[in-house]
Amino acid sequence: MMKSVLLFVAGYLISIASYAQPKEKPYVVLVSFDGFRYDYVSRFKPPFFQEFIRKGAAAEGLIPSFPSKTFPNHYTLVTGLYPGHHGLVDNSFYDPDLHRYYAIRDRAAVHDPVYYGGTPLWQLARQQGLKTASFFWVGSEAPIQGTYPDYYFDYDESVPNEKRVGQTIAWLKLPPAERPHFISLYFSLVDTEGHHSGPYSQALHKTVLQADSLLGQLVQGLKTVALPVNVIVVSDHGMMELSNTPKTFVSIPNLFDTRDSSVVYVNGGTQTHIYTAKVDSLYEVLRKKEEHFKVYKRTEMPAQWHYDHTRAGDLLLVIEPGYYFQDQPRRAGPQPTTFGAHGFDPHAEKSMQGIFYAAGPNIKPGTTLPPFENIHVYPFIARLLGLSVPAIDGDADVLRKIYKKR
């Protein structure tokens, strides 16, 4: 059965590589497998991923923007901007200008367009006459620049993954005037298990194979629509294994007085954002306590992070890879011996790299790219869709090697 399905998938990939319909604009399905590390395919050998790569193009890794977190990087993928430029600087943060907090589980904040800069792909496509759809993506639930994707859903992690695939195919079967040319599709299963048991566990291996099955279902479903669809498979970040022992954790209350009303902080595990007028004095206090972390003034952060944004904090604590900030007591009871984490500096820690795979009529098969920054995905997708782009950080020419005109 597996062999016959693989042959079917291979046939689809060959067909989309050679599909030609001159007056038909291409379609793009952007698929994210959250937390899918760059080496999962080589280690776990998921067959549908392997076949997809063999018939399409691949990067050796996709380098997240700093910090290597879910919300900032999913939004970078669809805006071509670094988090420090689009404003979604972490999964949680404080906005000192608005005097409000943003958190990924705060539905009112997630739905508020004030937090989202840039022009996401669904908005760009709509501005230039194309229909769009999203089955979950960061930003798609907020009326950015006053509008949503033509078709979208509020995030609900309980929605079965197979239903997400089915809806994607159903959108592509709509009449031409209603059919979206850009679709984003999101799966969280790999990230969830990676956090729970780490990137080397048997449970994670099993979950990667479940993700593989979803990719197979998507490719198989696309065979039934007979359209020039380019499929782009990405992830937002990788995963690092951490030891679940007390020495792994750096306690924030041991670093400064968290009860001080003149100091606001937001802990993100790998970064802690501090907002205060007492920048210099607190900086000196923290600098003397640097052990397994480093403190930065916002104006002195490394240039490669592109992180000079007020929401990033007046001071930023950045943990050393292998350690983790905590501001609450650890849970009582039995704990797993290891867990997975991300958010570390992607320029210094290779385990933070994600994936980029592509196949379709505008993708040159058999090509491989070296690792590249995820800011370049946006302009590449815009090129596939024939869209002009605003001023962004990314450059479509970084991916020119895999682009093929029909």
pLDDT in tens, 59-87: 999 999 999 999 999 999 999 999 999 99
70 catalytic residue (yes or no): yes
Nearest alpha carbon to residue 16 among 356, 355, 398, 364: 364
pLDDT number for residue 116:
99
Q: Is pLDDT at 132 greater than 70 in this prediction? A: yes
- For residue 95, CA distances in Å to 89, 102, 109, 128, 286 come to 10, 8, 11, 32, 22
| CA dihedral sign of residues 254, 259, 260, 262 | positive
Alpha-carbon Rg of the chain, whole angstroms?
A: 21
CA distance 94 to 114: 13
CA distance 30 to 77: 10
Check residue 90 and report its DSSP letter: S
pLDDT number for residue 385:
98
Residues 6+ apart with CB under 8 A from 169: 218, 221, 222, 224, 225
pLDDT number for residue 334:
76
pLDDT number for residue 17:
46
pLDDT number for residue 24:
79
Nearest alpha carbon to residue 217 among 159, 167, 155: 167
pLDDT number for residue 336:
83
Q: Is pLDDT at 160 greater than 80 in this prediction? A: yes
Catalogue all structural domains in the chain, each as residue range(s) with its CATH number: 2-81+118-242+347-402 (3.40.720.10), 245-335 (3.30.1360.180)
Longest dimension (CA), the chain: 67
How confident is the prediction for the chain on average, in pLDDT?
Answer: 94
pLDDT number for residue 11:
54
Interhelix angle for 47-55 vs 2-18, to 10°? 20
Tens-place pLDDT, residues 166-191: 999 999 999 999 999 999 999 999 99
Q: Residue length, the chain?
A: 406
pLDDT number for residue 20:
42
**Residue at 329: amino acid letter:** P
Which position among 70, 132, 272, 276 bears the catalytic label? 70
Tell me the mean pLDDT in the region 248-274: 97
Structure tokens at 228: 């020039």
Tens-place pLDDT, residues 303-346: 999 999 999 999 999 999 999 999 987 676 677 899 999 999 99
- For residue 215, CA distances in Å to 29, 50, 198, 239, 394 come to 12, 11, 22, 21, 27
Q: Is pLDDT at 273 greater than 80 in this prediction? A: yes
CA distance 193 to 190: 5
Residues 6+ apart with CB under 8 A from 396: 376, 379, 380, 382, 383, 389, 403
Q: Is pLDDT at 94 greater than 90 in this prediction? A: yes
Tens-place pLDDT, residues 6-64: 544 555 554 454 444 445 789 999 999 999 999 999 999 999 999 999 999 999 999 99
